[in-house]
Structure 1
């Protein structure tokens, strides 16, 4: 693979009321962090700054240093708002 070869990837971010799917062409060897920066998602999504996000590729958690492959979908994950175990317990108590 030559260093001037481009790969196609997507960066996705979702809120309950809206989703962003941002297609990109990046140089081969680019990382997940490079893709998020190049996508400009921080400028497009209100309230993005100041929140610590986790990255995933097809729902598998990855670090920002993970090298991308052709066709990867980099998912920017928001932090959980509630502990799922506590929510299930509370729901069970209501029944």
Structure 2
């Protein structure tokens, strides 16, 4: 089956499509994608992950066509960001 793994920083985006065996977990897909080497700041013990915007555990079993997303911590609360934009 084929899945995608996605990660983005403010400066760079990465989307890796790769074939994986059936019953591959989100964690296995992240390791297979090579993104941990490309982005050493990713700490899977601290970082949240999801599939198509829905949070999941690292042991989540993937299906064909899934996109695993590695999330960064928010720099600013979305409500605070809206308030700042409204003040401008």
Please state which band the TM-score falls in when normalised by the shorter chain: 0.7 to 0.9
Q: Using the alignment, how far apart are the partners of 2:12 and 2:5 within structure 1?
A: 14
Instruction: Give the aligned CA root-mean-square deviation in angstroms.
Output: 2.0
State the structure with bigger RCO (CA 8 A, min sep 6), 1 or 2: 2
What residue number does 2:67 align with?
73
Residue pairs, 1:1-95, within 5 angstroms: 7-49=1-43, 52-92=46-86, 94=87
Question: Deviations 1:28-86 (Å, cap 9, x if unpaired)?
Answer: 00111110111121111253358821111111111111100001010111011112222
User: Which consecutive residues of structure 2, in runs of 5 or more, have no partner in the other structure?
Assistant: none
User: Which consecutive residues of structure 1, in runs of 5 or more, have no partner in the other structure?
Assistant: 1-6
What SS does the corresponding residue of 2:5 show, helix, strand or coil?
strand
Report the count of equivalent residues: 88
What SS does the corresponding residue of 1:30 show, helix, strand or coil?
coil
Q: Which structure carries more strand by proportion?
A: 1
